[in-house]
Amino acid sequence: ETGVTQSPTHLIKTRGQQVTLRCSSQSGHNTVSWYQQALGQGPQFIFQYYREEENGRGNFPPRFSGLQFPNYSSELNVNALELDDSALYLCASSLIRGQSREQYFGPGTRLTVT
Amino acid sequence: KQEVTQIPAALSVPEGENLVLNCSFTDSAIYNLQWFRQDPGKGLTSLLLIQSSQREQTSGRLNASLDKSSGRSTLYIAASQPGDSATYLCAVTDSNYQLIWGAGTKLIIKP
């Protein structure tokens, strides 16, 4: 059973550019969530996808968008990058089954916007 | 709106001591509470998950308790070691199945 993987590990972009981050869910999981973690803070929920549909969204603007594919892998897209978008982006997968909601996290992608 | 608070923000103790980290949340309508460990610049490692119907969970030197009615959880670390140095985060799964996080407690264990 493979864990959650994310790519790339690190990324440097310029303000105004667009970026795509990728996440491969743990085998058998049907739900993926994305989080942004700024330096020295706890993660903030961006959105969640369940069976390819957005299933909840945090307080992030529309320039943050996502996709979930039939194999349950996922992408996070950020348009018109701003300096404040510099953060660690974490992906987590889970299997919604009964009351179980445990999420399993990938290692994250460190995004730096200059 | 669910809010999660962790106290203290930072803690430094000598090796070998037992210690307690605190987490509080404002809305008792949660599915579970998780404690995570994060090493500098790294992702998250899940330590313990307590379902809303449970009172505590134990793993090795770690014991986590949950008092849903008072909106509190504690993480007890016994016989601390320098390798325990990290940031510890707690998070609750709210009624919308979203994880709401505290800002973490930065723990330093001095040899």
**pLDDT tens track for B42-98:** 788 889 999 999 999 999 999 999 999 999 999 999 999 999 999 999 999 888 778
CB contact under 8 Å between A102 and B32, yes or no, is yes
Q: What is the average per-residue pLDDT within B10-36?
A: 95
Residues 6+ apart with CB under 8 A from A28: A1, A95
pLDDT at A83: 97
- Find all residues with CB under 8 Å of A99, minimum gap 6, and list them: B31, B51, B52
- B95 CB within 8 Å of a chain A CB: no
Alpha carbon distance A83, A26 (integer Å) = 31
Give rounded-to-5 percent helix, strand, coil for chain B.
5, 60, 35
Separation between Cα atoms, residue B75 and residue A95, nearest integer Å: 26
How many angstroms separate the CA of residue B102 from the nearest CA in chain A? 6
